[in-house]
Amino acid sequence: METPAVLEELSEASLEAAMRRREEVRLGALIEQVERWRHRDGCFGRALRTDGLSVIAEYKPASPTEGSIRDVSPDEIAELYAPADAISVLTEETKFGGSLRHLAALRERTSQPLLRKDFLTHPYQLLEAKAFGADAVLLIASQLDAKQLRYLREYAESFGLDALVEAHDAEDLDRAVRSGAGIIGINNRNLRAEGLPVDVAVTGELLEATPEGVTVVTESGFGVDAKSRQKLRKYNARGVDAVLIGTALMRSDRPAEAIESLKRGGTSRGKLQRPRPDAH
């Protein structure tokens, strides 16, 4: 498995920052903060498994492909994203303008489940995610081998963090399934192609190989327009439980209304059953 260059760069920067913080923060103090949030264990996954389409609204000030997106405070985001089922918080600083301070500030302002979205490769990063108030962490299959992925997922879950394991292609998906992931994100962005293009058809292709019982999140490429809502309704009927949307909501004049519209676009009908995977 060769890690895409963009992930290699981002994960290295994220790890270096975490190791600097580790030198400055007493481990005992961090564990005390972890215990503060243990009453929230598992709430992220539960929020995605409700009937219809769940919406994870992303707080993303910038991105490598878009540059600066919107300057907005955690206070404002808490209000603008109030109808969302969960909020994804970018904490990567160098390319996404994120911060753990944003995560902590949002945790004090909302009861919604929070996902720490970053390029995480070390157990310490998971511990500090919980300490800063996250209910879930993103683990990217493209940057972790099978042993690392399973270990980090199990470690996160050992102290109450849900793990959203992200797959970009069939190889990633197989690794995610074999890691025992209960929540899998299908990211429609191609990290190995020039320009990092997006094709939402990737969700449809990988969905067929995603086992029954796994909570599925589609990521990247969806907006808040009628075409996106129609496509999401079809995916929801086929078994997609949630959508993660960042840029379109960050740029929306009325993100709360957009979120409500996306949720209404889901279907309350029973989702189609996906095939079970081979035993692993």
Report how far residue 28's alpha carbon sits from residue 200's, in angstroms, rounded to the nearest whole number.
44
Nearest to 55 by CA among 280, 274, 262, 272: 262
Report how far residue 211's alpha carbon sits from residue 230's, in angstroms, rounded to the nearest whole number.
24
The CA-based diameter of the chain, rounded to the nearest angstrom, is 51
Between the CA of residue 13 and those of 51, 94, 95, 167, what are the distances in Å?
Answer: 38, 8, 10, 21
**What per-residue string of b and e applies to 130-143 under the rule 16 or more CB within 10 Å gives b?**
bbbbbbbbbbbbbb
What values do phi and psi take at 235, rounded to 5? -65, -40
Q: Which residues are catalytic?
A: 58, 60, 117, 166, 187, 219-220
Report how far residue 246's alpha carbon sits from residue 58's, in angstroms, rounded to the nearest whole number.
4
- DSSP letter at 96 equals T
